[in-house]
Amino acid sequence: MTDTPSPGTPSPGTFDSALVRPARPEDAEELLRLRAELHSGLATPEPWHAAFPAAMRERLGTDPGLHAFVSDTGEGRLAACAIGLVYRAYEGPLYTGGLWGRVHSVITDPAHRRRGHAEAVTRALVTALQGAGCASVELNATDDGLPLYEKLGFTPAAHYLTLRRPLDGGAA
């Protein structure tokens, strides 16, 4: 006799997308754990380890510009998360309505990778950002994440640069 999953039961190696939900303040420590995974190998300032979960507890569910979705294992741990923000720009051809969204983080716990968690939380996040009026949604992709984002319809933007230190001096 073989084990046949009942209808609606995920097959081994996949997950139930119904476990994707908006992040809640009580998820703050798990969000920190996942964010730390993203930054593993990088020097992260110690105050960040207290400031990030405090900000999440304060803002999740109350800040209309912060959107976060998680894939819950149902066992007290998160399998994945996607966090993004709505920004107000100015009315323009790329920002009709003046709003744009930014995906800040998509992280999957290593034990839960390649099962669809990142796609599910990213879809939920992008849907929420677009529902909030964002005409454009942007993100920085890692090599690992690029195929997923391309599958979802993201395309490269030419000439995107970033500055993460004080502006060099010089005559203006």
Residue 136 sits in a domain of what CATH number? Answer: 3.40.630.30
Which range marks the domain in which residue 102 is found? 18-151
Asked which of 1-5, 11-15, 110-114, 142-146 is least confident by mean pLDDT, the reply is 1-5
Q: Is residue 141 part of a domain?
A: yes
The pTM for the full model equals: 0.82
Long-range contacts of 60-67 (CB under 8 A, 24+ apart): 60/22, 60/23, 60/24, 60/25, 60/27, 60/28, 61/22, 61/24, 61/25, 64/132, 65/132, 67/22, 67/101, 67/125, 67/128, 67/129, 67/132
Q: How many domains does the chain have?
A: 1
Say how many CA atoms lie within 13 Å of 167 toward its Cβ: 4
pLDDT of residue 3: 32
pLDDT of residue 83: 97
Q: Within 10 Å of residue 152's Cβ, how many Cβ atoms?
A: 13
